[in-house]
Amino acid sequence: MKLIFLGPPGAGKGTQAKLLAESYSIPHISTGEILRAAIAKETDLGKQAQAFVDRGELVPDALILDLIRARLQESDTQQGWILDGFPRNVSQAEFLEKLLAELNQNCDHALNLEVPDAVLVQRLLGRGRKDDNESTISRRLDVYREQTAPVIEFYKQQGALVSVDGSQQMEDVTKNLKSCISV
């Protein structure tokens, strides 16, 4: 099972990705989590990424692409994987296409969680992560609309897109996702 999660910040990608990863016994690969861990450990990657993450900007592709290539070649990805937070712009999506072709892999579904903006802002403010203050949130939503939303169209054209209402209760979203996946 190879899944990509799409959707704006606060849509619940991380929560749902984690639940599905447990349920299918496959790794949950979150670029946001990888970057936050690198920032906490003050690694080279973390030092280079920090200012971008703090401003709500995407980190440069150069910091992310090699990391994804290496991660998808680790042995635990044989049975599948769930990508959360990647691809986040069209050039990352094109990179992933080429990488998967090289690895003889294919993404089964791109799962798009749809949630209205007002709900997103409430959820993000309630979450209280370091990059969840009001100005960063509004920048992240702008960046999402400008750079990440076009990725939805990319997967639609490939026939891989599945959109699910992410504003429902957590359990209902999980149920809907699972029923789309198993069709």
Applying CB under 6 A, which residues contact ligand ADP?
Answer: 9, 14, 31-32, 35, 52-53, 56-59, 64, 85-86, 88, 92, 140
Task: Specify the residue, 41 or 183, whose C-beta has the smaller distance to ligand ADP.
Answer: 41
Instruction: Give me the least distance between CB of 157 and ligand ADP, in Å please.
Output: 20
111 touches 164 (CB < 8 A): yes
DSSP letter for 149, please.
Answer: H
Instruction: Give me the least distance between CB of 5 and ligand ADP, in Å please.
Output: 9
Q: Is the peptide bond before 87 cis (omega within 30 degrees of 0)?
A: yes
Instruction: Give me the least distance between CB of 52 and ligand ADP, in Å please.
Output: 5
Beginning with the edge strand found earlier in the chain, give each strand of the sheet holding 161-165 in spatial order: 28-30, 81-84, 2-6, 109-114, 161-165
Task: Specify the residue, 83 or 161, whose C-beta has the smaller distance to ligand ADP.
Answer: 83
Instruction: Give me the least distance between CB of 182 and ligand ADP, in Å please.
Output: 26
Instruction: Give me the least distance between CB of 123 and ligand ADP, in Å please.
Output: 10
Task: Specify the residue, 8 or 109, whose C-beta has the smaller distance to ligand ADP.
Answer: 8
Nearest residue to ligand ADP on Cβ basis: 32
Instruction: Give me the least distance between CB of 89 and ligand ADP, in Å please.
Output: 7
Alpha-carbon gap, residue 132 to 10, rounded angstroms: 10
Strands (E), the chain: 2-6, 28-30, 81-84, 109-114, 161-165
150 touches 90 (CB < 8 A): yes
Task: Specify the residue, 28 or 88, whose C-beta has the smaller distance to ligand ADP.
Answer: 88
Q: At residue 114, what are phi and psi to the nearest 5 degrees?
A: -100, 125
Alpha-carbon gap, residue 31 to 56, rounded angstroms: 14
Task: Specify the residue, 8 or 26, whose C-beta has the smaller distance to ligand ADP.
Answer: 8
Alpha-carbon gap, residue 10 to 109, rounded angstroms: 20
